[in-house]
Amino acid sequence: MKKIWPFTFYFLLYSAIAFIAPFIVLYYQELGFTGTQIGLLTGIVPLITLFNAPLWTGFADATHRHRLLMSLGILGGVITTVVFPFLNAFAPVFIIAVLLYIFVAPITPLADSATMFMLADEKEMYGRVRLGGTVGFGISAFAAGLFVQYYGLRFAFWGCAALFFLGLIVSQKLVYGQSETDSPTIGRARALLTNPRWVLFLVAAFAGGMGMAAYNNYLFPYMMELGASETTMGLALTVGMFSEIPILFFGNRLIKFFKSYGLLMLAMGITGLRMLLFATIETPVLVLFVQLLNGLTFPAMWVAGVTYTDENAPAGMSATAQGLFGAMVMGFGAAVGGFVGGLLLESIGGRGLYLVFGLTVIVIVVTVALIRGRLPAEN
């Protein structure tokens, strides 16, 4: 059961996310929000994750209240997604979006921490467990695309809430590790944050979050510019999901061959390449072919990042370290990608947006690789 419960939880969690994440910018556009307002919602709000995720997970490690905090986070997600579609003005939508991010920020880091603990001596199998999220996202994204096309965007929020609630039930089966060290938490955190390799890893994670935000938030508006239907948009996500399956299933072999940091950098390079390809495309059908690269972008980066974090986390700080990794990806990186993306979408369109982000990600990856190569060898 050490694999089935985390697998099921990821399936439900990412099924819920698939109901709103790809459609959220379209929903904001439907409400008549400007590009600047959309940039604030998709960019500034995720900054909450930058501070909130490490706080939640750090508190969980310090008090051993992982399950309670997980339950509160998911329950808050249920309530906010139920209320979300009843709001139309920018101010209340901004407030409910802030609350949503506050609640959901610790969910993935806590789940990753529990999964790595439950896998024990099979940690390299994380990718196969995380595959549950990929399958759930792919199935739900296509289903949500059909429902949204026929019933409207508001339906997506209630579908998300229902799946969150099911995830709440399954989350009670997750098991979390306990600290066996008497070292002060602050001291262990300081040691982690002063490690230059860890800092460079967080910079790479930031680039991953920026690329993720550009993809998740603006793929559908970009495809709409190309003339794609809602069904084609959902199909694009499904194609991307199928490309993730072999990567996650054989993630253990990729980790052994490239090592966790090497796989991370490879994934970031392909992330930049995919966005540059998006910048050259003129028809929706070609997007489906580029989506075949999806498995080697964020999914590979996330498997590598979670593994690297687990390998380098100080004793008793697994959830905290995962929270820091998640904060750089889902917080800082997503904030920059979301906010700048909104401005770019309004000023130069979807293709220009992906050109800028593609070049930026590649520059960051090359810079990190060069700096890390000049560091002294580890003991």
What range does the domain containing 15 cover? 4-173+194-373
Q: How many domains does the chain have?
A: 1
Give which of 264, 267, 268, 274 is closest to 296, Cα–Cα: 267
pLDDT for position 140: 87
- Is the pLDDT score of 359 beyond 90? yes
pLDDT for position 184: 47
With a pLDDT cut of 90, the percent of the chain lying above it is 44
pLDDT for position 1: 58
> What is the CATH classification number for the domain harbouring 219?
1.20.1250.20
Question: d(Cα 298, Cα 208) in Å, to the nearest integer?
Answer: 7
pLDDT for position 97: 92
Residue 188 falls inside a structural domain: no
Contact between residue 49 and residue 326 where contact means Cβ atoms under 8 Å apart = yes
- Is the pLDDT score of 274 beyond 60? yes
pLDDT for position 299: 87
Cite the DSSP H helix spans in 226-249: 230-249
pLDDT for position 179: 56
Span 23-29, average pLDDT: 86
Residue 207, C-beta contacts closer than 8 angstroms, at least 6 positions apart: 268, 271, 333, 360, 361, 364, 365, 368
Residue 184 falls inside a structural domain: no
Question: d(Cα 292, Cα 244) in Å, to the nearest integer?
Answer: 8
Q: At 203, is the pLDDT very low, low, confident or very high (cuts 50, 70, 90)?
A: very high
pLDDT for position 87: 92
- Is the pLDDT score of 358 beyond 80? yes
pLDDT for position 164: 96
pLDDT in tens, 289-308: 999 999 899 889 999 999 99
pLDDT for position 235: 86
pLDDT in tens, 310-335: 888 777 777 788 888 888 898 889 88
Residue 19, C-beta contacts closer than 8 angstroms, at least 6 positions apart: 140, 144, 156, 157, 159, 160, 163
Contact between residue 213 and residue 338 where contact means Cβ atoms under 8 Å apart = yes
DSSP-derived secondary structure for 7-67: HHHHHHHHHHHHHHGGGHHHHHHHTT--HHHHHIIIIITTHHHHHHHHHHHHHHHHHT-HH
Q: Which of 91-95, 260-264, 339-343 has the lowest mean pLDDT?
A: 339-343
Span 342-353, average pLDDT: 91
Give which of 95, 8, 28, 12 is closest to 338, Cα–Cα: 28
pLDDT for position 270: 96
Q: Is 64 left (phi over 0), alpha (psi -120 to 50) or beta?
A: left
pLDDT for position 311: 87
Q: Which of 105-114, 195-204, 363-372 has the highest mean pLDDT?
A: 363-372
Across the chain, mean pLDDT equals 87
With a pLDDT cut of 70, the percent of the chain lying above it is 94
Residue 378 falls inside a structural domain: no
Residue 180 falls inside a structural domain: no
Q: Is 66 exposed, middle or buried (0-12, 13-18, 19+ CB in 10 A)?
A: buried
pLDDT in tens, 251-264: 889 998 999 999 99
Q: Is 175 exposed, middle or buried (0-12, 13-18, 19+ CB in 10 A)?
A: middle
The model carries a pTM of 0.78
Residue 340 falls inside a structural domain: yes
Residue 359 falls inside a structural domain: yes
Residue 178 falls inside a structural domain: no
Span 114-136, average pLDDT: 88
